[in-house]
Amino acid sequence: MSFWKPITPSTQHYPAYVASLPKQEGKTIAITGCTSGTGKVLAQTCGELGARVIMLNRPSQRAEKAKDELLSLGLRAELVPCDLQEYASVRRASAMLKERCPEGIDVLCNNAGVMGISDLATGDGFDVQMQTNHLSHFLLTSGLWPLLEKAAQDRGEARVVNHSSGARRGPALDAAYLRANGGKLGGDGFPGIGRWRRYQQSKLANLLFTYALADHIAAERPDSASKIKCLCAHPGPTDSGLQGKTSTAGGTRLLDRYILWSTLRNAHSTEDGTHGILMAACDPKAQDRDFFGPAGRGKAGPAVLLPAERDQTSEEMLWEESLKAVGLSSFFG
C-alpha cells in the first residue's frame, strides 16, 4: 500500500443532496479537469441531471475513456481538448466552444488543478501550478465570456464556478507567483515547503478571482451583473487521487508525506468532496459571490455556505497581474 493511500471512505452526504436538485435539462455545463476525481463525479452528476456536459481535458487516453464512460451511461458528453499548461491550447479550446455552443454556456466550472508540483516553468514561462490552477482558467473564462452572456440573456442566468482548497489559507497573495517566474519560486530543496507555498498561492488565487470577477462584471458589464453569478467552492480533505499524482510528480520528502498523510487520514469520499462545487454549479438558491465547502479547518463534512474571505487589495492586484500574464488588455473583449 502506498504511503498516501488510506482505506477509501464511504460516501455520507452526496446522494441525498443530488436527489434534492432540480433537473438541468436545456443547460450546457463545461468542466475542466474531469478525467478523474471531483471533476469526473461532477460531470457524471450534471449529465445524469440532464445537462449537456462539455469535458475540457488535456488530450489523452484517460480523457477519451472518461468521455466514453459517460456516453455508455446514455449521457450527453463531449470532449474538447484543453491543456491548461499552454495558453495557445486554451485559446483553441475557446474558439472550438464558440463553434460548438452558439446557444451559450450556462455554467463554466474551473475545476482542474495540480498539487505539490516541483518548481517548474510551463512553456509560457509561468509556474506550472499557478498557470494550471488559475491563470489558464482566467484566460478560459475571458474567452468564453460571450457564451456566458448569451446563456444569461436567453435563459436568465449563467455561472462561473471556481474550485479552491483548504490550502488557500496562508500568506497573502504575492504578485511574484503570478508573473513569468516559473522555476524561480522557492525550488524544492529542504524542507520542501516551496511546492506547497506555490500551491497555496494558486488556490488563494481561485477564491480571489471569484470576487474580483464579480466586482468587474458589476463595474464593466452592468447589464450582466444580475444574471451572471460568480461562485467558488472547496472540497475539504478528499480522497480524489490528486495526492497520488503529487507523489508521482516528486512529492516524496518527509514534509510531502506528512501533508498528504494528514489530509487523507481525515478525508471523505470523492463524491462528498464534490458536494461544494455541485452546489455552486446547480443549486437554485446559490447567489453571486457564494463560497461553499465543509466548515472548519481540514475537516470532512457536508458543504455549507461559508463566510466571505475578501481581500480587495489582493483581488485588484490579481486582476491586473492576470491580465498581463495571459496577454489581455481587457477581460471582456
Q: What amino acid positions are annotated as catalytic residues?
A: 199
Helix H or strand E encompassing 261: helix 254-264
Q: Which residue has the cell 488535456?
A: 58
User: What is the amino acid identity at position 5?
Assistant: K
Helix (H, G, I), strand (E, B) or coil at 17: helix
Secondary structure E strands in the chain:
28-32, 52-57, 77-81, 107-110, 158-163, 228-233, 291-293, 304-305
d(C-alpha 1, C-alpha 29), whole Å: 37
Is residue 241 packed enough to be buried (19+ CB in 10 Å), middle (13-18) or exposed (0-12)? middle
> Peptide bond preceding 81: is omega within 30 degrees of 0, i.e. cis?
no
Please name the residues in contact with 69: beta carbons below 8 A apart, sequence gap of 6 or more. 44
The secondary structure of residue 22, as a DSSP letter, is P
- Yes or no: say if 82 and 143 are a contact pair by the CB < 8 Å rule: no
| Cell numbers representing residue 225 in the block | 451583473
CA–CA distance, 185 with 199 (Å, rounded to integer) = 11
CB 162 within 8 Å of CB 137:
yes
* Whole-number Cα distances in Å, 330 to 139, 148, 164, 252, 324: 11, 16, 24, 41, 10
